[in-house]
Amino acid sequence: MTINYPNGKKFVPSHNLPATKKKKDFSFSNRGKTLEDELNETNEYYLQLGLAVIHKKPVPVQIVKVEYPSRSAAVIREAYFRTPSTTDYNGVWNGKYIDFEAKETENKTSFPLKNIHDHQIHHMSQVIKQQGIAFLILRFSSLQRYFVMRFESLLIFWDRMLAGGRKSITLQEIEETSFEIAPGAFPPIDYLPILQKL
C-alpha cells in the first residue's frame, strides 16, 4: 500500500525503516509498549471509571486504490493523507476541553523541536484561546521518564527556536517547566492529576 502526504512525499511505514530506527524500549514495567499504547490504555481506564472521555484522533486518510483479491477481502494499495493532522488526543475532563500531543524521543539530554509542527502549535494556541487545556506529553524512552508540559511553556521554547535559538528543549529545561509522571500499572500514565495544576 502506498500512502502519500499532502505535499506528495511518500509515507514510510515503521516496518520499512532501518533496524536501528525500529528498536522498541524493553525496560521496566511497560516493556515494549509505545507511548501511544500506554496513553490508549490510560484513556480506556479513565473512560471505564467515568473520569474523562479522551480519545486518539483518527488520521485523515483518502483511499485512492483498492483491490479485491477475494469477495470477502479488500486490500488498500494507495492512500494519501488528506490534511496534516492537528494533535494526537482530545476529549472532555471535568467540563473542560482537553487537547494534547504525545511525543517520545530516544535522546537522553533534550527533546528536538523538529518533532512538533507549525500547524500543531497553531491548533493548540486556538484551543487555549477558547479556554481549553492544551499540553504536550513527552516520553524519554531510554530514561523511562514522562513529562506533561503546558502549551504556554512549549510556546516559549518554540518562539526561542523561531528567533534563531536552540532547536531543542534540554532535559533540564523540561524538568524546570513541566510536571513529571511516574509510570504505573493502572493506569500506565496517570496524567489527570497533573491537569488540576494546569
Is 105 annotated as a binding-site member?
A: no
Q: Kindly provide the residue ranges of all beta strands, DSSP E only, lying in the chain, ordered along the sequence.
A: 2-4, 53-56, 61-70, 73-81, 89-93, 96-105, 110-112, 133-140, 145-150, 168-170, 179-181
Angle at 64 between CA 62 and CA 67, to 5 degrees: 130
Note whether 144 and 138 are within 8 A (CB).
Answer: no
Looking at residue 22, its amino acid is K
120 is in an annotated binding site: yes
CA distance 171 to 131: 29
Residues 6+ apart with CB under 8 A from 40: 56
Annotated ligand binding at 101? The verdict is yes
> In angstroms, what CA-CA distances link 152 with 32, 42, 148, 177, 180?
32, 24, 12, 10, 17
SS3 category, 18: coil
List the binding residues.
Answer: 86, 88, 101, 120
List the binding residues for Mg(2+).
Answer: 86, 88, 101, 120
